[in-house]
Structure 1
Amino acid sequence: MNKQTLVIKLGGALIESDEALTALFATLKTFLDEQHRPLVLVHGGGCLVDDLLKGLGLTSTKKHGLRVTPFDQIPFVAGALAGTANKQMMAKAIACGIPAVGLCLADGGLCQVVQLDPELGAVGDCSPGNPALVHGILSQQFLPVISSIGITADGQLMNVNADQAATAIAETLDADLVMLSDVSGILDGKGKLLPQLDKATAQDLMEKGVITDGMAVKVKAALHAAETLGQPVCVASWRYPDQLLKLLGGAAIGTQVTL
């Protein structure tokens, strides 16, 4: 049995649907009970950030699929992601019988974060860090639930794209990586699911404008992870718990991103 740690990135509108969250965590409970494999969850929560900023009368824009985060907005973004989103995920895990620990990228030095681009504001670039804390948590049979908020070496809060964060965490832990979102995988120009996607095809689809914005960020992160981890990275949907259980068991679901 493969006991290698599995990192699952959760994204999309999942956190807005109590029914979908319940189904997902029930599936993860089954997986943990049957496989006894170390599992780490990494999440964003863009929908919660959008709702909070809108409620505060603040506008939010994206550039190349990344949220522009003015420094005066980072406290609100951090509150939505490391606070509300993280604790909602933990609450659902606990309700499904999974003991969970909520973390951010800075806890235990899990990931190193620096500012990505001054034009994006408090948006971080994430690289692998220290696995010791997460290994310790996993050894005690807890599920780490990690938000994509980072902190720089000089103490500045940073908003990190969750796909990039999950990639860095998988590298830190030398783990397998699965990215789950609203969509069934990566689609070609005709809207058809691509069972496999290599670097050359991905570059071609991005140049043609087929893969854009947030999906382009996801694909680049997956390609980077496939290269550094030396194995394919799966991009699939959280919408079908029965398929998810097959995926976690090793079946080919969604899109396998390879070199």
Structure 2
Amino acid sequence: MGETIVIKCGGSILSELSPSFFTSLQALYSQGMNIVIVHGGGPEIGQMLKRLNVCSEFINGLRKTTEEVLEVVEMILSGKVNKQLVSLLQQYHLPSIGLSGVDARLLEAASIDVAKLGYVGEVVNVNEQFLNDLLLSRYIPVISPIGSDRKGQKYNINADTAAGSIAKALQAKQLVFVTDVPGILQNGSLVEHATIETIENMIDDGIISGGMIPKVKAAVAALSESLDEVMIVSGKTTFYSENGRIYGTIIRKEAGVY
């Protein structure tokens, strides 16, 4: 089986994905790469919560998830957003199948801190065999980050951390976070290369803040022997060149040859 790339699409960029983003995916797919997509949906969730007058708050970049909030999160992520993205991919002749982490126990989850965050979960196991079966059939799994525990309790999982866990389980060659910015920015300029140490320093200095914090933490956590670099790129432009270069911020464990 070919090499695997896991791509996480942030909710803020889903409505702005450019045709060149999908042609980049076509290029990867035609070269035999296995593609797995994990998506968020924060703006859509926020709009629906507001429409339904359901209170919601963020704690350290994570949405506190009560039972009422969880119902809306699952409806938007696993329903509306997931199928919209699958439909878009298929318009570009990319064979896709929409899933949530609940399907086939794809993402087994456990609570992080019920008292503080409600039903926000972390991934404790990934059903990589199920994903590999789909990839062998040349499907592109499109995954909404809703998981469940062995008792059937569902959890809202941060899409960045879900993507990182999936990339690690599949021993993916690359993990790419697609956002509405070109990568990590410092004083308006793109940081092309970063290490774990520089990431920690930029968080301490406030250069990396808000929703970018769980993103870079997920990137760092996903780094392993099989996955030595993680990229943060823009979904508004071409992110993959013909010579195999990905444009954005490249994160590695430590400084080395790029």
Give the aligned residue type for 2:41.
G
State the shift of 1:81 in Å.
0.4
Give the aligned residue type for 1:177.
L
The whole-number CA distance in structure 1 between the counterparts of 2:170 and 2:178 is 19
Identity %: 33
1:257 and 2:230 correspond: no
1:42 and 2:38 correspond: yes
More strand by share: 2
Q: Which residue of 2 aligns with 1:167?
A: 164
Q: Which residue of 2 aligns with 1:133?
A: 130
1:245 and 2:237 correspond: no
State the shift of 1:108 in Å.
2.6
| C-alpha spacing 1:182/1:200, structure 2 compared with 1 (3 Å) | same
Q: Which residue of 1 aligns with 2:195?
A: 198
The whole-number CA distance in structure 1 between the counterparts of 2:18 and 2:84 is 9
State the shift of 1:138 in Å.
1.0
Query: Is the deviation greater in 122-131 or in 60-69?
Result: 122-131
State the shift of 1:69 in Å.
1.0
Deviations 1:112-147 (A, max 9, x none): 210111211111111342211111111111111111
More helix by share: 1
The whole-number CA distance in structure 2 between the counterparts of 1:43 and 1:183 is 16
| TM-score normalized with structure 2 length | 0.91
| C-alpha spacing 1:177/1:51, structure 2 compared with 1 (3 Å) | same
Given the alignment, which residue of 58, 61, 68 partners 1:65?
A: 61
State the shift of 1:255 in Å.
0.9
Give the aligned residue type for 1:94.
Q
Q: Which residue of 2 aligns with 1:185?
A: 183
State the shift of 1:100 in Å.
1.1
Runs of at least 4 residues off by over 6 Å: none
C-alpha contact (below 8 Å) 1:111/1:168 kept by paired residues: no
State the shift of 1:93 in Å.
1.3
SS at match of 1:124: strand
Alignment length, in residue pairs?
Answer: 251
Q: Which residue of 2 aligns with 1:32?
A: 29
State the shift of 1:21 in Å.
5.3
The whole-number CA distance in structure 2 between the counterparts of 1:211 and 1:86 is 28
SS at match of 2:185: coil
The whole-number CA distance in structure 1 between the counterparts of 2:50 and 2:225 is 38
Q: Flag structure 2 segments of 5+ consecutive residues without an equivalent.
A: 254-258
The whole-number CA distance in structure 2 between the counterparts of 1:56 and 1:22 is 33
C-alpha contact (below 8 Å) 1:128/1:171 kept by paired residues: no
Q: Supply the RMSD in Å over aligned alpha carbons.
A: 1.8
| C-alpha spacing 1:21/1:104, structure 2 compared with 1 (3 Å) | farther
Query: Is the deviation greater in 53-62 or in 20-29?
Result: 20-29
SS at match of 1:210: coil
| C-alpha spacing 1:114/1:181, structure 2 compared with 1 (3 Å) | same
| C-alpha spacing 1:218/1:185, structure 2 compared with 1 (3 Å) | same
The whole-number CA distance in structure 1 between the counterparts of 2:21 and 2:229 is 23
Q: Which residue of 1 aligns with 2:216?
A: 219
Given the alignment, which residue of 135, 143, 151 partners 1:146?
A: 143
| TM-score normalized with structure 1 length | 0.91
Query: Residues 75-86 of structure 1 correspond to what in structure 2 (within 5 A)?
Result: 75-86=71-82
C-alpha contact (below 8 Å) 1:65/1:217 kept by paired residues: yes
Q: Which residue of 1 aligns with 2:10?
A: 11
The whole-number CA distance in structure 1 between the counterparts of 2:35 and 2:45 is 26
C-alpha contact (below 8 Å) 1:171/1:228 kept by paired residues: no
C-alpha contact (below 8 Å) 1:14/1:21 kept by paired residues: no
State the shift of 1:39 in Å.
0.7
SS at match of 1:114: strand
The whole-number CA distance in structure 1 between the counterparts of 2:22 and 2:55 is 33
